[in-house]
Amino acid sequence: MAVQQVFPLSCAVQHYAWGKMGSNSEVARLLASSDPQARISEDKPYAELWMGSHPRGDAKILDNRISQKTLGQWISENQDCLGSKVKDTFNGKLPFLFKVLSVETALSIQAHPNKELAEKLHLQAPQHYPDANHKPEMAIALTSFQGLCGFRPVEEIVTFLTKVPELRFLIGDNATAQLKGSTSSDSQVAASALQSCFSHLMKSEKNVVVEQLSLLVKRISQQAAAGNNMEDICGELLLQLHQQYPGDIGCFAIYFLNLLTLKPGEAMFLEANVPHAYLKGGGSWPSG
């Protein structure tokens, strides 16, 4: 008898705090449409739908004619479904996880390790890094989607340092001057100067960050109330992020990272070591 190759799945859901609530979430609606037994809680965030065989979210098989209960079990007993090259390269495991995200509030800034570093971190601290694989991602927008991805051109960051004195205060005069002087230098010099600036920001003392962020929020709010357009310093986004995470140093990251707004069907690729953060909207994520 031929092995059944197509069958319905009930995919795992992750209820991270940043997800959209209840049936407002694309994740919740997809879950409900695919699993008749699913019950959506309107007071719970539905952040991610995982379609794959990840140990923390192995999809359940919704077909009583199939002896295996999960996709991971089925793949382990039907190795030919992977194809010989994938089976040999990835030791008989499905080498990607397909996700759908529904983002209500901004996620933390993060960067995924490459394969070598992922294996090292997994050996050192498996409780924090349960997966030894790297995680390149391609984000495909299902709705209007906003995110931060990769460092802006140095010239843009220098402009923000000029227009946002609160940011310049955290960076310091020396690091700021170093970055300004690197605009006509080679890429290595510019990268070193950028690293110095971003390190100064991220290592700033908490109370100083809170103080400077409060000053910036007050200044933007007053200028906006007076009818002035503050988009040259991303005023609306800064206020939005501060409302979600008051006093958080990540609010200043918008002046270092590219701000992208994707229309449905548009995509962005995130390779290893690229800093990024998802801000709002819905999208699908094939992740390695």
CB 65 within 8 A of CB 77: no
- Listed in order, the ranges of the chain carrying CATH 1.10.441.10 are 153-255
The encoded tokens of residue 53 equal 């065989």
The pLDDT tens digits for 88-97 are: 998 999 988 9
- Listed in order, the ranges of the chain carrying CATH 2.60.120.10 are 9-149+263-287
The encoded tokens of residue 270 equal 């995130």
Cα-based angle 261, 272, 204 (whole degrees, multiple of 5): 75
What is this structure's pTM? 0.85
Per-residue model confidence (pLDDT) at position 115: 79
User: If you average pLDDT over residues 179-204, what whole number do you get?
Assistant: 92
> Of the spans 35-39, 102-106, 117-121, which averages the highest pLDDT?
102-106
What does the longest C-alpha to C-alpha distance in the chain come to? 75
The encoded tokens of residue 273 equal 């070591």
pLDDT, averaged across the chain = 91
CB 112 within 8 A of CB 134: yes
Superfamily the domain 9-149+263-287 falls into: Jelly Rolls (2.60.120.10)
Asked whether residue 137 carries a pLDDT value surpassing 70, the answer given is yes
* Helices (runs of H) and strands (runs of E) counted in the chain: 10, 14
Per-residue model confidence (pLDDT) at position 287: 62
Look at the alpha carbons of 201, 203, 208, 209 in this order and tell me if their dihedral is positive or negative.
positive
Look at the alpha carbons of 238, 44, 13, 125 in this order and tell me if their dihedral is positive or negative.
positive
User: If you average pLDDT over residues 69-84, what whole number do you get?
Assistant: 94
CATH no., domain 153-255: 1.10.441.10
Asked whether residue 285 carries a pLDDT value surpassing 70, the answer given is no
